[in-house]
């Protein structure tokens, strides 16, 4: 996590390693995000990508999550569909072109995390089907 002295140049072999390196205030939030994501994506491959916990299914990255000094985040690519679908629900949160940031001062919106993750799974499945059919 940015701001954690050991985190800057560290790489991780597993999501467990990533969580173990988290600061005490961020680790429980990351563990909760992991729980929600793995419940929503029971068939996804859990791995590390770009030094973040990453969940792949249908040959695509569905979601990633990360912890920073000021927030935890849910990351996904491509983003336009999810941001359009959840525009109203995302208003209270800071976003970037590929992430939703959840302030450490507020409870995690677990239902929103699950809903965005399920939406991204459907997007990934649709994209994979189009790719297989040549479309």
Q: Each residue of 10-69: pLDDT tens digit?
A: 789 999 999 999 988 899 999 999 999 999 999 999 999 999 999 999 989 999 999 988
Domains of the chain, start order = 15-132 (3.90.1150.200)
pTM for the whole thing?
0.88
Long-range CB pairs of 124-131 (<8 Å, 24+ gap) are 124/57, 124/58, 124/60, 124/61, 124/62, 125/57, 125/58, 127/58, 127/60, 128/58, 128/59, 128/60
Residue, of 135 and 48, whose pLDDT is higher: 48
**pLDDT band with cut points at 50, 70 and 90 for residue 120:** very high
């Amino acid at each position: 996590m940015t701001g954690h002295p050991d985190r800057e140049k560290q790489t991780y072999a597993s999501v467990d390693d990533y969580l173990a390196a988290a600061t005490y205030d961020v680790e429980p939030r990351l563990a909760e995000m992991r729980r929600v994501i793995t419940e929503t994506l029971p068939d996804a491959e859990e791995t590390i990508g770009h030094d973040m916990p990453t969940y792949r299914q249908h040959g695509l990255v569905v979601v990633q999550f990360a912890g920073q000094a000021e927030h935890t985040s849910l990351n996904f690519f491509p983003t336009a569909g999810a941001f359009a679908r959840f525009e109203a629900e995302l208003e209270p949160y800071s976003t970037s072109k590929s992430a939703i940031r959840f302030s450490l001062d507020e409870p995690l919106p677990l239902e929103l995390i699950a809903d965005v993750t399920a939406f991204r799974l459907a997007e990934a499945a649709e994209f994979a089907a189009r790719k297989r059919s040549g479309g």
